[in-house]
Chains A and B, each alone.
Chain A
Amino acid sequence: MTTTSQARLAIEARGLVKAFRTVRALDGLDLSVPTGGVFSLLGPNGAGKTTTIRIFATLTRPDGGVARVLGHDVTTAPHAVRSGICLTGQFATVDPSLTGTENLVLQGRLLGLARRAARARAVELLDAFGLTDAAGRPVRTYSGGMQRRLDIAGSLVVAPSLLFLDEPTTGLDPASRIQVWGAVRWLVSQGTTVLLTTQYLDEADQLADRIAVIDRGRIVAEGTPGELKASVGSGVLRVQLANIRDRDRARQVLGGALGIPVARDTDPGALTARIEGPSATEASARGLSLLSREGIEVAGFALGQPSLNEVFLALTSHTAQSRYEETG
């Protein structure tokens, strides 16, 4: 047991198993989350993201395996774990019948702040999150974005060492998403470690320092966003067609020109092909000119690193991609 490496890890999980009746939600999950920064868990619905977070947040007991959070075992020392964490779930966990101020004061009092300190902190946080005008209103009158912001403000009443953000921006409008991202970045700059789950790959791309891809209850890949993209392929040609109906014909033409398989993108009007090596630019140009000679109009094209979308689909192919292929 090396104490130095343990102190540096915010989360360390070995062989986590959790079954719900017939479903094996976690099937030997190993995970190491370093202290500091944003660590993102990506995976299709039902892959085990939420179960993993709930085990780390001491809400669910694992059937097997060990999880240490902030150096404490989640099953034998849950109170010690809770002293350093905060959970912001998929739903705003604020109380709709209480006002914004009351919600934050409640949180502060439960975390051990004196009455006056809790009140002062609530005023400060409401101001920081642009909620001062709504401070005295019951939360049920808030918009979705305001509730989420209040929820995150609540998790900052006393900044936790480790914050679990379970799909923090699901259902938010773009402006609110950017505000939530700002709050997460600020929190990280203050030294909090964030474990983020999200359905939005651009969100992981924007925020995460490291990403683990979870599928069928196991970690199937882990690394920086750059590493994950590189693991799937160094280059990708993406062609956006003007007319969706041309796609199957274009796929044949392009495949013939490039001499490699061309895949249907998740976008029904687009195709992608993995091209690597120094001749990538030339081959792409050849393929594109052939498309125009065949009378297939191209609305746009790009040559570059694969998106996290493609990484995600490649790594979780048996579940996610088959679904996309069927519909595409």
Chain B
Amino acid sequence: MTATIAPRTLTEPGRDASPRPRVLRNSLTMAWRAMLRIKREPEQAFDAIAIPVLFTLLFTYLFGGALSGSPRQYLRFLLPGTLVLTVLLITVTAGLSLNTDRARGTLDRFRSLPVWQPSVVLGGLIGDMGRYVLATGLVVGMGLLMGYRPPGGAGGVVLAVALILVFAFSVSWIWTALGLALRSAQAVTVISFTVQLPLTFASNVFVSPATMPGWLRAFVNVNPVSHLVTAERALMDGTPAASQVGWVLLASAVLVAIFGPLTMRLYRSDRQG
């Protein structure tokens, strides 16, 4: 049905007269949009459900026997790594959604609005936190069902999840920069995969680096993901973790310091068709 436009009935709300953009409010509005998209497009939430479930089951039964004796023992070693791997894999969505926003012209609309411009990127990342919490909840929940009892207790697990969220947020800026720099979503997927693969697998997620060749061990030891996994194990085991946590926070800060400004530069630069 097509109705004729009769906008004469419209009242006229005043425009926000504030001369400065509203940092918090704009970011929360953009986060609300990201949450709505997850709700409306279940595919977006799918990887946050499927990957944790698959990884926990797969890795536990694939590597568990080879690594140590009882489920409780190998889960204690594997689960923190699975947690890290799971969350890092689903951070790429941040870059993909920015890429589609640019392709659709939605970004142009936002860029010409009187909003605090970084909120467009930041809001999406805040919205993504919901997916990460869902994914970590699934991994930990399945671990508990399979007999995992974290020596660090609930407090240790909460701290471990919080640390992962901080790192995932920081890593996301790599993908937002890629999402804005590359033309197609496929390119974002391919390139991010080639970055992710060495970062996640060339780490101590599955095995101790002691058996690796020297050059690989050197990389694994500086890889921030290794530090993150070590910190996660310590937090969930209830052993001292301060120095590892410090390294992870430092790495997070460095990532944001590099890829945050880069993302915003790419965001402001104009790329026409």
Contact = CB atoms under 8 A, between A and B. Distances in A.
Nearest to A83: B114
A27 to B, nearest CB: 17
B108 to A, nearest CB: 5
A93 B10 contact: no
Interface stretch (B1-9, B47-55, B63-71, B242-250): B1-9
B112 A57 contact: yes
B18 interface: yes
A58 interface: yes
A85 B111 CA distance: 11
Contacts of B105: 89-93
B22 interface: yes
A213 interface: no
A111 B114 contact: yes
A136 B2 CA distance: 17
Contacts, number: 133
Contacts of B197: none
A86 B4 contact: no
Interface in B15-34: 15-16, 18-22, 25-26, 29-30, 32-33
Nearest to A80: B19
Contact of B108 (A87, A94, A110, A124): A87
Contact of A98 (B11, B21, B22, B36): B36
A121 B16 CA distance: 14
B33 A159 contact: no
A266 interface: no
Given A93-B108, A97-B41, A98-B37, A130 B29 contact: no
Q: Interface size class for chain B?
A: 35 or more
B272 interface: yes
B129 interface: no
B14 A158 contact: yes
A175 interface: yes
A301 interface: no
Given A106-B29, A110-B29, A128 B15 contact: no
Interface residues of A, number: 61
The interface residues of chain B, by DSSP majority, are classed as: loop
A150 to B, nearest CB: 12
Contact of A109 (B7, B9, B29): B29
Nearest to B26: A110
Contacts of B33: 95, 98, 106
A61 interface: yes
A93 B102 CA distance: 10
A280 interface: no
Contacts of B109: 87, 89, 93, 154
B5 A60 contact: no
A91 B104 contact: yes
Interface stretch (A36-44, A179-187, A232-240, A304-312): A179-187
Given A110-B115, A158-B13, A190-B12, A183 B108 contact: no
Interface string A127-155: 11110010000100000010001000010
A58 B7 CA distance: 29
Interface string B86-113: 0000000000000000001110111111
B102 to A, nearest CB: 11
Contacts of A224: none
Given A57-B108, A111-B113, 15 more contacts: A54-B272, A82-B113, A83-B19, A89-B105, A91-B105, A95-B106, A106-B29, A110-B29, A112-B18, A129-B7, A138-B40, A154-B109, A158-B14, A158-B16, A183-B7
14 contacts: A58-B112, A87-B108, A90-B105, A91-B104, A97-B37, A97-B41, A110-B29, A110-B110, A111-B113, A128-B6, A129-B7, A156-B10, A176-B2, A182-B5
* Chain A to chain B: the 3 pairs with minimum beta-carbon distance, closest first: A112-B16, A130-B3, A93-B109
